[in-house]
Structure 1
Amino acid sequence: VRTVAVRLKPFFSIRQSYVKIEGEGNKSVENWKKSHWEYYQRELAPYSREPRDSMIVVCEIFEKVYPN
């Protein structure tokens, strides 16, 4: 796997084009945001923190390099 691009974006700005590339679930923005929001809630809970629409998320795009 090779990293092709890395973008830092506010959670609220995630669009269908990225969700389709990531390829999880039913590939809808709503599903992506719901499942990732729940993930961030679990991860932040031990620190007494809550996710926010304005939080920055890392959007990474990969390509398969082996096997061809």
Structure 2
Amino acid sequence: MYALTGDYNQAKSHYEIALSLNPDNITGLINYSALLLSQNDLEGAREYAVRASELDPGNIQVRILMQKIEKR
């Protein structure tokens, strides 16, 4: 929600809290990685995308996200 309104700092904070409570949340990992990518944090985006990929290697969203990260 915060990312949609452009409040990226608040969005990052909420993703960090959510992932600290449930570090295996694939949707949270993917969305946080995408948010970091949108902020040009390639290292952070890659870290969370890799974690998501390890948990769900066949996930198409993760594969697409990894491709976007590698293209930058």
Q: After TM superposition, is the score higher than 0.5?
A: no
Which structure shows the higher helix fraction? 2
TM-score range, shorter chain: 0.3 to 0.5
Which gives a bigger RCO, structure 1 or 2 (Cα 8 Å, sep 6+)? 1
Greater Cα radius of gyration, structure 1 or 2: 1
Which structure shows the higher strand fraction? 1
Q: TM-score, normalised by structure 2?
A: 0.31
